[in-house]
Amino acid sequence: MNINTKFIFVTGGVCSSLGKGISIASLGLLLEGHGCNVSIIKMDPYLNIDPGTMSPFQHGEVYVTEDGAETDLDLGYYERFTSGEYTRKNSVTTGQIYHAVIQRERRGDYLGRTVQVIPHITDEIKSRIYNVAAAYDLDFVMVEIGGTVGDIESIPFLEAIRQIRQELGSNRVLNVHLTLVPTLSGAGEQKTKPTQHSVKELMELGIIPDILLCRSSQPLSADLKSKIALFCNVSERNVISAPDIKGSIYQIPFMFHENEYDSIVLEHFKMDVKRFSVPAWDKFMKSLLNPTQEVRIAVVGKYISLQDSYRSIYEAIIHGAAANNARLDIVRVDSEDLEKTSELVEEIFQEVDGILVPGGFGDRGIEGKIMAISRARTKGMPFFGICLGLQCAVIEFGRAMCGLTGANSKEFDPGTPHPVISLLEDQEIVLEKGGTMRLGAYPCRLGDGTRVRAIYGKELVMERHRHRYEFTNRYREAYEKGGMVFGGTNPAVNLVETIELPNHPWFIATQFHPEFKSKPTDPHPLFRDFIRASIEYREKSNPSR
Ligand code: GLN
């Protein structure tokens, strides 16, 4: 481990959903802007090994890293905001910690000792943090402790970070506490008491916060800051106001920079506050905030009512729109609603410029997605299908254009006469659910003369996967006769990775998840081109809009 690596721990107080993930990712971007290398670890206090087995209703999106870890969606923010490399090392859960310790106990590694939360669980937590520091030559390892201080389940993590401060000293460790300063609607007054209580709770666990990052609806006044400083034992300068932002989450790093969060962090470590520059981010923000055109994209899914189930999809669409200088309007369409009435399909899609069908599991809402895809295909409207979206497009096309009546995926109809989407043999025998899908990055070769090849501008790409089912290769010929082109395939095992319709303005679907690799500063080519085509469709189909 680099003996100069510094550790920043971020805990959360008062309540959840304060944006800890975005705030730590934003600080990461700012520190990179000062020329530092950073990595961020998410520590989740739940007992699942990873969120892969959790429902989107419980957890939001499952984010997938290049090396195939199924992680918390905060990893997505880390990757989008910073340039660090994120792997399964960056996503730690209580489940993983206990699993490792118990396996060691069964092997007899503890040599007759009693295995305990302290030191064995806390040692395992610390080793996960030190491992990231050791794997890369880093200036900063930042650690986000999931949950809220006061939760029983996060106590071992807090004890571990207390010990790290004890081991390394305050010149290598900084504690940030993200907290809420609510405004009471009746009195219109900002209240500091919840923050005082949260800090007290933290101190009882032996953790002294160095910085309080205070979320509030309005900026904190100087008076309020000094009150918080006095009661919470931090310097006034280190009480940082983080008010709600009206526009985009991508403005948060600049708001932090204006409030000197990055300088305060560097000062703590007695590091020079070097010249700050984030030119790629500046460029992205300029296009995001000064759109010259408009585009409206429908996302058709089953978990539309939830904010975070398609988080990376929404972000990748935002990046694609900014790259085209377009103001974006995302219309969230519940695929189950579409099944109720076909008039609704017309009504909704008349008003949009492109349709995206994202990934998903299970048969609910499938026919609604197929109706949306059929509308896009027959009306020449841009369509982008991702994972399950590709599978639905294959079903729709098989039924409509290849004479495969009743075509379906074996996932939804195991007895279908035409299983155009099915399991590979090695997946048929898989019994365990956790971590057994086709996960992480695989190569994809893009065929000569295909649209995907032109969009990517190269022959070989690496894209991330999270699925069990595949296109059934014996139907390839029937589909090619119907007019479908299999643009991208896996070079080693010949699995279908992308489909396209050359006779359609923009009809592309991918078995992989390109949304996981889109960044504001490096929008994914497929999303960028999908938005470009949608703007073109808008101009042609309805120039008055
Ligand atoms: N349910 C499908 C499969 O397992 C699609 C998965 C997805 O969209 N991520 O193959």
Same domain, yes or no: 159 and 274: yes
In 3D space, the residue among 67, 177, 161, 15 whose CA is nearest the CA of residue 435 turns out to be 67
pLDDT digits (tens, 9 = 90+) for 327-351: 999 999 999 988 887 778 888 898 8
Q: What is the CATH number of the domain that holds 390?
A: 3.40.50.880
CA of 422 to the centre of ligand 1 (A): 11
Whether 478 is covered by a domain: the verdict is yes
Cα 371 to middle of ligand 1, angstroms: 19
Contacts of 391 (CB under 8 A, 6+ apart): 385, 409, 411, 421, 469, 471, 511
My answer on whether 324 and 411 are in the same domain is yes
pLDDT digits (tens, 9 = 90+) for 188-207: 889 999 999 999 999 999 99
| Closest ligand 1 atom to Cα of 360 | 8
Mark which of 229, 246, 281 sits at the end of a domain.
281
Last residue of a domain, one of 261, 281, 301: 281
465 catalytic residue (yes or no): no
Q: Does a structural domain hold residue 451?
A: yes
What is the CATH classification number for the domain harbouring 13?
3.40.50.300
Extract long-range pairs of 399-403: CB within 8 Å, 24+ residues apart: 400/374, 401/482, 401/483, 401/484, 402/475, 402/478, 402/479, 402/481, 402/482, 403/478
Question: Is the CB of 381 inside a 6 Å radius of any atom of ligand 1?
Answer: no
**What pLDDT band is residue 58 in, cutting at 50, 70 and 90?**
confident
Q: Answer whether residue 141 is part of any domain.
A: yes
**CB 500 less than 6 A from any atom of ligand 1:** no
Quick one: average pLDDT of 89-101?
Answer: 98
Structure tokens at 346: 């017309």
Residue 1 lies in a domain: no
User: Which of ligand 1's atoms lies nearest the C-alpha of 387?
Assistant: 8
Residue 353 lies in a domain: yes
For the stretch 480-535, pLDDT in tens is: 999 999 999 999 999 999 999 999 999 999 999 999 999 999 999 999 999 999 99
Residues 497 and 132: their CA atoms lie apart, in Å, by 33
Ligand 1 close to Cβ of residue 359 (< 6 A): yes
| Catalytic-residue membership of 315 | no
Among the listed residues 387, 392, 402, 444, the single catalytic one is 387
Ligand 1 pocket member 355 (CB < 6 A): no
Among residues 258, 281, 304, which one ends one of the domains? Answer: 281
Residue 258 lies in a domain: yes
Q: Indicate whether 544 pLDDT > 70.
A: no
Give distance in angstroms: CA of 147 to centre of ligand 1.
29
Is there a single domain that holds both residue 269 and residue 318?
Answer: no
Question: Is the domain of 245 the same as that of 333?
Answer: no
Task: State in Å: Cα 504 to ligand 1 middle.
Answer: 25
What are the pLDDT digits (tens) for 391-447? 999 999 999 999 999 999 999 999 999 999 999 877 777 777 887 889 999 999 999
b (16+ CB within 10 A) / e for 367-396: bbbbbbbbbbbeeebbbbbbbbbbbbbbbb
Q: Judge whether 444 and 512 are in contact, CB under 8 Å.
A: yes
Whether 333 and 225 map to the same domain: the answer is: no
Whether 196 maps to a domain, the answer reads yes
The reply to whether ligand 1 has any atom less than 6 angstroms from the CB of 56 is: no
**226 CA from centroid of ligand 1 (Å):** 52
- 392 catalytic? Reply is no
Q: Give, using CA atoms, the residue closest to atom 5 of ligand 1.
A: 388
Owning domain of residue 520: 292-541
Is 177 close to ligand 1, i.e. is its CB under 6 Å away?
no
Same domain, residue pair 225 and 352: no
* Residue 412 Cβ < 6 Å to ligand 1: no
- Give pLDDT tens digits for 23-54: 999 999 999 999 999 999 999 999 999 999 98
What does the pLDDT average to over 365-390? Answer: 96
494 in the same domain as 384:
yes
In the predicted structure, residue 66 carries a pLDDT above the cut 90: yes
Measuring CA to CA, how many Å separate 38 from each of 46, 52, 169, 428? 25, 26, 20, 41
> Is the shortest distance between the CB of 276 and ligand 1 below 6 Å?
no
Q: How far is the CA of 407 from the centre of ligand 1 (A)?
A: 17
71 C-alpha to center of ligand 1: Å?
16
Same domain, 357 and 233: no
411 CB within 6 A, ligand 1: yes
343 plus 468 within the same structural domain? yes
When mean pLDDT is compared across 306-315, 384-393, 451-460, the lowest value belongs to 306-315
What whole-number distance in Å separates Cα of residue 18 and Cα of residue 151? 16
Do 507 and 404 sit in the same domain of this protein? yes
Number of domains in the chain: 2
CA distance 381 to 375: 8
pLDDT at 56 over 90: no
pTM higher than the cut 0.85: yes
Q: Residues 421, 394: contact at Cβ < 8 Å?
A: yes
pLDDT (average), residues 248-276: 93
In a domain, 56, yes or no: yes
For residue 386, the ligand 1 atom closest to its alpha carbon is 8
Please tell me whether residues 235 and 307 are part of one structural domain. no
Both 111 and 240 in one domain: the answer is yes
